[in-house]
Structure formats: C-alpha cells, structure tokens
Amino acid sequence: MNDSDPAPITIAFTPVPLARSRCNGWTPQAQRRFIDALAALGSVGQAVRAVDMTRNSAYRLRARPDAESFAAAWDRALDIGRARIFDIAMTRALDGHTTIRVLRGGSVIMDQGVSRHLVVAAIREAPPRSSIK
C-alpha cells in the first residue's frame, strides 16, 4: 500500500446467523470478507469470487429474514465501492493514461493521453449515492 491508497473501510454489521456451520460456507468471517471485498471492488460478482463463493448463494443469504444488518452493510459497501471505482475512472479520464502495445516483430507503441470517452461515459451516469454530499 502506498501513501495515495485509501485506508481500508470497515463496515460494522451483525453477520447472518446460520443453523449449521460449514467451513466452506457463509461463516461470519466469510461474510465480513465479502463486505470488505464489496467495498473495495464495487462489484458483487468480483466480491464473491474474491471470497470463493457464488453470486446465487450471496443473494440467498441476503434474502434471509434475519439478514437485515448484512443487507444494509451490503448496500453501504456497494455504494462505497462504486464511488471508489467512479473516482478512479474519472482520475484516469482526466489525468490521462498510458497504453503500451507490442506489435509483431517486437515494435513497441506507447500512447498517452486523456480518455475523453471515459469522461463522457461517467458524465452520462448518475454519480454513486455515497459521493453525493
């Protein structure tokens, strides 16, 4: 982690109680790791892959009647993650990026510049809820 990386965000919630515990199931630790991954990645699909679970099992866990705290943490983490990704995309769009292409024969092309298409795409979308003050 370098000085420009944001501090990890911890979202407090009560894990969903389970009738039986499986070492490879949605343990309280797996639920916390999922919420942390969701806040970091801003994507349910990427977060479930990061904790080696499935999207369907995550949505089933969220739908349980005793999962209110978990569902609220999920929504908050998703907002945080999407806002983070939005900020990264806007920074890359406005500050520019470098693309390196290696061609057949070993020639290298380096393109640098502002991504106007990223700016236009970001402007079309509503900003994430957590970034609205």
Q: What is the 3-state secondary structure (H, E, C) of 11-67?
A: CCCCCCCCCCCCCCCCCHHHHHHHHHHHHHHCCHHHHHHHCCCCHHHHHHHHHCCCC
Residue 4 lies in a domain: no
Residue 113 lies in a domain: yes
How buried is 92 (Cβ within 10 angstroms: 0-12 exposed, 13-18 middle, 19+ buried)? middle
Q: Bridge partners of 18?
A: none
Residue type, 38: L
How many structural domains comprise the chain? 1
Residue 37 lies in a domain: yes
Q: Which of 16-30, 62-76, 100-114 has the lowest mean pLDDT?
A: 100-114
Residue 120 lies in a domain: yes
Residue 93 lies in a domain: yes
Report whether 67 contacts 16 (CB < 8 A). yes
Residue 56 lies in a domain: yes
Return the SS3 of 16. coil
| Structural domain span for residue 51 | 28-131
Residue type, 84: R
- Return the pLDDT at 133: 43
Residue 20 lies in a domain: no
Percent of the chain with pLDDT over 70: 82
Residue 116 lies in a domain: yes
Pairing verdict, β 108-113 and 97-102: antiparallel
Residue 90: pLDDT above 90?
A: no
